[in-house]
Amino acid sequence: MLPFGVIDVVGPSMRPSLHDGDHVLVRYGARIRPGAVVLFRHPLRQDLLVVKRAAERRPRGWWLLSDNQGVHTDSREYGPVPDELVLGRVLLRIRPRPAWLAPTVWLERALTSGPLARAPWLAARLGVHRPLSLEL
């Protein structure tokens, strides 16, 4: 297994720290400390990977909690998570790029408005076509 991985965040349980659609960089096998955000296998559904915050170390494992106070699908529901199910520590969040920042959107805007719009041969060559405008 590689020492690092990128995991997609799904659901609201870690708001406001992490949002649905965020990506996180995980260091597998990293030392866990209270306060760290961790990746683990759900104790009752081990095919499910989950991200929660490590609250404290208990005799039978880690007490892991959601950052979102309205979500209780965490150790309050399934108890402490054994060490062998804790896979790693989240190092950083990578927010998804908004659609308007996607290179294709910028290229299309550049070719359909502004100075590049006066070069229709370039737009045609790149497969970007200006929408037809109708004058009434």
**One domain, residues 76 and 107:** no
* Residue range(s) defining the domain that contains residue 44: 4-94
Average pLDDT (112-130) is: 56
**One domain, residues 26 and 82:** yes
pLDDT at residue 96, as a whole number: 76
DSSP string, 73-109: -SHHHH-PBPGGGEEEEEEEEEPPPPGGGSHHHHHHH
Q: What is the pLDDT of residues 34-84, one digit of tens each?
A: 999 999 999 999 999 999 999 999 999 999 999 999 999 999 999 999 999
**One domain, residues 16 and 55:** yes
Task: Provide the domain count of the chain.
Answer: 2
pLDDT above 90 covers what percent of the chain? 63
**What is the C-alpha to C-alpha distance for residues 38 and 133, in angstroms, rounded to an integer?**
53
36 contacts 55 by C-beta, under 8 angstroms = no
Helix, strand, coil % (nearest 5) of the chain? Answer: 25, 30, 45
Query: Residue 74 maps to which CATH number?
Result: 2.10.109.10
| pTM attached to this predicted model | 0.71
Q: Given a cut of 80, is residue 86 above it in pLDDT?
A: yes
Q: Given a cut of 60, is residue 105 above it in pLDDT?
A: no
**One domain, residues 23 and 50:** yes
Beta bridge partners of 54: 64
pLDDT at residue 125, as a whole number: 57
Which of 25-29, 78-82, 96-100 is the least confident region?
96-100
**One domain, residues 17 and 70:** yes
Selected residue with higher pLDDT from 71 and 123: 71
Which of 9-23, 52-66, 100-114, 118-132 is the least confident region?
118-132
